[in-house]
Amino acid sequence: MIERLFDLVNADAALVRRGRFLTTDFLVEVGDEPFHVSVQDGRIASVTRGPAPARPWRFAIRASAEAWREFWRPVPRAGYHDLFALTRFGHASIEGDLLPLMANLRYIKDVLAAPRRLGRSD
């Protein structure tokens, strides 16, 4: 699902515009599986699956596969409907340098939620 970010985000002109001042790398963990997401001027430059030793990232968002599956439902249920709902209830954790995340919070939230548009939960 997370690999679809490349297509989903880059095809969304409003979302790319919202992130146009952001160039950063962040990590998304789906269960044990890491995905390295590289953002260049609001576009997703790459989503790399699997461990990438010594490849830096600014912040990491980690949640179980089950939590992400709930999060990506078209209309998620309460407690799984927002990044901070996930962390509030212990379904996810955020670590690293939060400045690029907080300065671009709506963009990052919208990027992470983009798979909801696929209309499937698997």
Partner 1 sequence: MAARIEPIAGRYVHLTLGGRDCRVYFEEAGVGIPLLCLHTAGSDGRQFRHLMNDAAVTDHFRVIAFDLPWHGKSTPPAGWEDEEYKLTTAAYVEAVMTFSRALDLDRPVVMGCSMGGRIVLELAAGHARELSAVIGLEAADHQTPWYDTEWLHRPDIHGGEVCAALVSGLVGAPAPDEHRWETLWGYMQSGPGVFKGDLYFYRVDSDFRERVAGIDTRACPVHLLTGSYDFSCTPEDTLRTAAKIKGAQAAIMEGLGHFPMSEDPARFREYILPVLDKLRAARSGPR
Dihedral sign, Cα of residue 64, residue 65, residue 66, residue 70? positive
Among 19, 34, 42, 76, binds partner 1 (CB under 8 A): 76
SS3 content of the chain, % helix, strand, coil (to 5): 40, 25, 35
Which position has the token pair 């992400």?
A: 68
Among 43, 79, 96, 121, binds partner 1 (CB under 8 A): 79
CB closer to partner 1, 28 vs 101? 101
Number of residues that bind partner 1 (CB under 8 A): 20
CB closer to partner 1, 65 vs 102? 102
* Contact stretch for partner 1 (CB under 8 A) within 6-14, 24-32, 34-42, 86-94: 86-94
Q: Using CA atoms, how far apart are residues 122 and 14, in angstroms rounded to an integer?
A: 26
Closest CA to 88 of 66, 63, 105: 63
Q: Which residues bind partner 1 (CB under 8 A)?
A: 75-79, 81-85, 87-89, 98-99, 102-103, 105-106, 109
